[in-house]
């Protein structure tokens, strides 16, 4: 079957289940689709998606980064995306998993950064000028890798997921577009009236040996730069979520935890809140989207600088991918480590970024970008240690917990 000619939407989610173990849910041939192509349609589509789940349907899809234009006129963007701003399929029930058509490898993929090191250095210098001027505290600056692809995108997804087990992975086939998300980052989980968020800020490479690997983790844990970067985003998200939370219910049960992934260590924190009665999906997105971990702080100014320094629209990268269960419980990732393919053109794009602060150096940040690219380039050799991602409602951070004081300006 020609993957481009068959335009039946097919979605697969490999998200953690209630027990923390990856659960595969597949969906095909939706009974209807909910699509927003203009900012004025976004809130309505999100509300319709929420209502469909309350009526007993499964709802699954994506929200592009540029959909944030619906929530604040002060948000600025670089260009437009070919994908809809929001796309959801409404399904009566999950379907049987689809097997790849082939067992073709991925060795033929060749990725080229669309931003060279000289331009990247200039971008970092410009961003730090804004930081020193007091305009922002940090910026999540991203670039793209571009490449070509011909073959079985589902087989590619399976092979890439084998390199990064766990996390919030998804494969979405919508028209000629394929979205292969290997994201380790939770955007939010709505479990009844409880909302859980787990932003990632702070990255270190994995070591080649067990002692070196532990040294890399210890250095990340002790890094004042990475802890400050993480804390700023925790403050920003606490401030965002307080807009839809019951008074005094916002809490940080785990701060500066470390998670091990095959190519990198990630520093994470967990934020929870109890939603006010009547808060729906559109209001959650209006308060939180886009996630502060992929913008910087304060959010409005950070997004303005991002729009001026980055070379293209982000699209689904840095937006949200997720599913809503019958009854309204929902899980969305932050689509980092996410590959988008245009099957008609045979082209692919992979976004990657890093958090820039006053203490950042261009060389170190570029090295961090390259480390995050290893998941689509490295051989399948096992990492020295892999700590599987658990359910956000049950997992325990490797560090102690604490609650930061003060809330960042939005």
Catalytic pick from 66, 158, 198, 201?
A: 201
Provide the Cα torsion 181, 182, 184, 186; round to 10°: 20
Residues near 108 by beta carbon (within 8 Å), at least 6 away in sequence = 151
The 8-class DSSP code of residue 138 comes to E
259 a catalytic residue: no
Instruction: Give kind and range of the element (H or E) at residue 195.
Output: strand 194-198
Q: How many angstroms separate the CA atoms of 195 and 193, rounded? A: 7
Catalytic residue among 66, 185, 259, 368: 185
In the annotation, is 229 catalytic?
no
Tokens 């930061």, residue located: 404
For β-strands 86-91 and 347-356, DSSP reports them as: unpaired
What is the distance between the terminal CA atoms of the chain, rounded to a whole angstrom? 49
Q: How many CB atoms lie within 10 A of CB 313?
A: 18
Consecutive H or E run containing 187: strand 186-191
Query: Rounded to whole angstroms, how far apart are CA atoms 249 and 239?
Result: 12
Partners of 36 in the β-ladder? 86
DSSP secondary-structure letter at 193? Answer: T
Name the residues annotated as catalytic.
Answer: 185, 201
């Amino acid at each position: 079957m020609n993957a481009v000619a068959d335009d039946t939407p097919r979605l697969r989610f490999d998200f953690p289940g209630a027990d923390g173990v990856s659960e595969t849910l597949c969906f095909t041939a939706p009974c209807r689709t909910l699509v927003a192509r203009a900012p004025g349609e976004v809130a309505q589509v999100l509300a319709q998606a929420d209502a469909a789940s309350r009526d007993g349907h499964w709802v699954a899809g994506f929200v592009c980064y540029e959909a944030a234009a619906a929530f604040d006129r002060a948000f600025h963007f670089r260009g437009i995306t070919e994908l809809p701003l929001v796309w959801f399929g409404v399904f009566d029930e999950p379907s049987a998993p689809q097997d790849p058509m082939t067992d073709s490898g991925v060795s033929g993929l060749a990725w080229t950064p669309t931003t060279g090191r000289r331009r990247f250095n200039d971008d970092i210098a410009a961003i730090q000028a804004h930081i020193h001027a007091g305009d922002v505290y940090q910026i999540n600056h991203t670039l793209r890798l571009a490449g070509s692809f011909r073959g079985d995108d589902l087989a590619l997804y399976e092979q890439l997921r084998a390199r990064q087990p766990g996390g919030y992975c998804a494969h979405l086939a919508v028209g000629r577009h394929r979205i292969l998300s290997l994201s380790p980052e939770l955007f939010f989980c709505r479990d009844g009236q409880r909302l859980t968020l787990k932003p990632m800020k702070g990255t270190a490479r994995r070591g080649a040996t067990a002692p070196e690997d532990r040294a890399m983790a210890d250095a990340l844990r002790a890094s004042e730069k990475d802890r400050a970067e993480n804390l700023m985003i925790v403050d920003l998200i606490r401030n965002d979520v307080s807009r839809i939370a019951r008074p005094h219910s916002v809490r940080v049960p785990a701060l500066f935890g470390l998670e091990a992934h095959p190519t990198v260590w990630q520093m994470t924190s967990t934020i929870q809140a109890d939603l006010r009665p009547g808060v729906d999906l559109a209001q959650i997105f209006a308060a939180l989207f886009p996630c502060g971990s992929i913008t910087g702080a304060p959010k409005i100014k950070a997004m303005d600088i991002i729009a001026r320094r980055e070379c293209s629209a982000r699209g689904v990268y840095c937006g949200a991918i997720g599913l809503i269960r019958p009854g309204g419980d929902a899980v969305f990732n932050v689509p980092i480590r996410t590959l988008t393919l245009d099957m008609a053109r045979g082209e692919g794009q992979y976004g990657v970024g890093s958090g820039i602060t006053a203490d950042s150096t261009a060389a170190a940040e570029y090295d961090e970008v390259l480390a995050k690219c290893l998941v689509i380039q490295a051989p399948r050799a096992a990492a020295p240690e892999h700590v599987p991602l658990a359910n956000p409602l049950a997992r325990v951070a490797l560090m102690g917990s604490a609650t930061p004081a003060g809330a960042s300006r939005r």
